[in-house]
Amino acid sequence: MSQNTLQEPKTVELHRPAAAIKLPEAATWPLDEVMALFDLPFTELMARAQETHRVNFPDGDVELATLLSIKTGGCEEDCGYCPQAARYDTGVEAKKILDIDTVLEAARQAKDNGATRFCMGAAWRSPKDRDMDKVEEMVREVKALGMETCATLGMLEEEQAKRLKDAGLDYYNHNLDTAPEFYDNVISTREYQDRLDTLGRIREAGLKVCCGGIVGMGESRLQRAGLIAQLANLNPYPESVPVNHLVQVEGTPLYGLDPLDPFEFVRTIAVARITMPKARVRLSAGRRQMGETVQAMCFLAGANSIFYGDKLLTTDNPEADDDRKLLAKLGLKTRGTVLESAPKEKCGC
């Protein structure tokens, strides 16, 4: 895998997903229009993003989600950003899947800290049948705590997606990672179409989609626009869009890249908000390295969800107390607060 940025592609085409997720005959957001948003003066882009955000999320609340690695390390894939790939020497040890009591304790703690969604991630190319029984039990028990449930387990077959839906799963996360034209620079063990096919199976099963990508992997602005165009033209577009800033881990192929300009990351958040107006746009990996100022700009650009807690799978994340202090400084409400304070419907009896 090359660590160098590709030259701008001469043509950029949207890849076709499986039948359950469709692309309109004419793209809702052609690539040139997405690129035009990226190229706007920064203040104009921020103003448009904030206007879009206010119209679609008048409460201005931030969703708190917690991510737990239920099975860490030993993955057979070669994703160039991931310290959990077995082929890279990153110090991450392969571990067995967590027991149900450990997962439930983490979920209870997340709920006590204010999280409303609990996400469970496993370092698999795809889950095996023996894994599915355990994951389904986790989903049922976490759901019983009154939390939204999300899982990211790799590629899914149709029957696996249905089983997760039947267990009570709300969201399934499966990121596109980057633009189709840059994908081969990052991953060689699965095709872009494999990701789109899994998204189609998720939709067919009736699950909500959590799908985004990673920026700062050496891609160009045009390729960042290509990622957003691919996401925005899915029909429907994802309900949750996690935008990750590459966390460089020594031992992975993408370690040592020049860091992405923070304003370019904020622009990506703003363009995601404008093109997917009703989605929860989530600040995901890389928040620790951003600092409070850049995070504040991201909220201004329309981010309204964060991963909340001290770990994102295997990388550090701002601690919950730090997040609460930052949200308080900015005067932002959390989704749980909004839900709790919403007026109850009067009985019609």
Q: Judge whether 349 is annotated as a binding position.
A: no
What integer pLDDT is reported at residue 190 of this predicted model?
Answer: 87
What integer pLDDT is reported at residue 93 of this predicted model?
Answer: 77
Residue 121, strand partner residues: 69, 152
CB-side neighbour CA atoms (13 Å) of 316: 8
CA distances from 9 to 13, 32, 164, 186 (A): 10, 13, 38, 16
User: How far is it, in rounded angstroms, from Cα 100 to Cα 113?
Assistant: 20
What integer pLDDT is reported at residue 337 of this predicted model?
Answer: 52
User: How far is it, in rounded angstroms, from Cα 63 to Cα 44?
Assistant: 26
Q: Judge whether 347 is annotated as a binding position.
A: no
345, two tokens: 């419907």
What residue has token string 């889950």?
Answer: 127
What integer pLDDT is reported at residue 13 of this predicted model?
Answer: 46
Helix axes 100-112, 129-144, angle to 10 degrees: 30
CA distances from 166 to 15, 60, 221, 284 (A): 30, 32, 40, 28
Query: How many other CB atoms are found less than 10 A from the CB of residue 339?
Result: 11
What integer pLDDT is reported at residue 15 of this predicted model?
Answer: 52
DSSP letter at 75 equals B
What integer pLDDT is reported at residue 10 of this predicted model?
Answer: 34
Residue 284, strand partner residues: none
User: How far is it, in rounded angstroms, from Cα 65 to Cα 281?
Assistant: 12
**All residues at 6 or more sequence positions from 220 whose CB lies less than 8 Å from its CB, including other chains:** 5, 6, 8, 182
Q: Judge whether 282 is annotated as a binding position.
A: yes
What integer pLDDT is reported at residue 279 of this predicted model?
Answer: 97
Q: pLDDT under 70 in the chain at which residues?
A: 1-26, 74, 86, 89, 309-318, 336-349
**All residues at 6 or more sequence positions from 129 whose CB lies less than 8 Å from its CB, including other chains:** none
For 50, phi then psi, to 5°, come to -65, -40
What integer pLDDT is reported at residue 5 of this predicted model?
Answer: 36
270, two tokens: 């703003």
Q: Kindly report the pTM of this predicted structure.
A: 0.85
Q: CA-based angle 66:38:173, to the nearest 5?
A: 25
CA distances from 318 to 66, 202, 245, 306 (A): 12, 30, 14, 10
Q: Judge whether 211 is annotated as a binding position.
A: no
> 118 and 65 in contact (C-beta within 8 Å)?
yes
User: How far is it, in rounded angstroms, from Cα 240 to Cα 242?
Assistant: 6
Reference 103, options 132, 141, 152; nearest CA is: 141
Reference 194, options 224, 214, 174, 164; nearest CA is: 174
What integer pLDDT is reported at residue 229 of this predicted model?
Answer: 96
Enzyme catalytic residues: 75, 79, 82, 119, 150, 210, 282
User: How far is it, in rounded angstroms, from Cα 203 to Cα 119?
Assistant: 18
Reference 107, options 137, 84, 128; nearest CA is: 137
Residues 253-310: tens digit of each pLDDT: 888 899 999 999 999 999 999 999 999 999 988 888 888 999 999 999 999 999 886 5
What integer pLDDT is reported at residue 84 of this predicted model?
Answer: 76
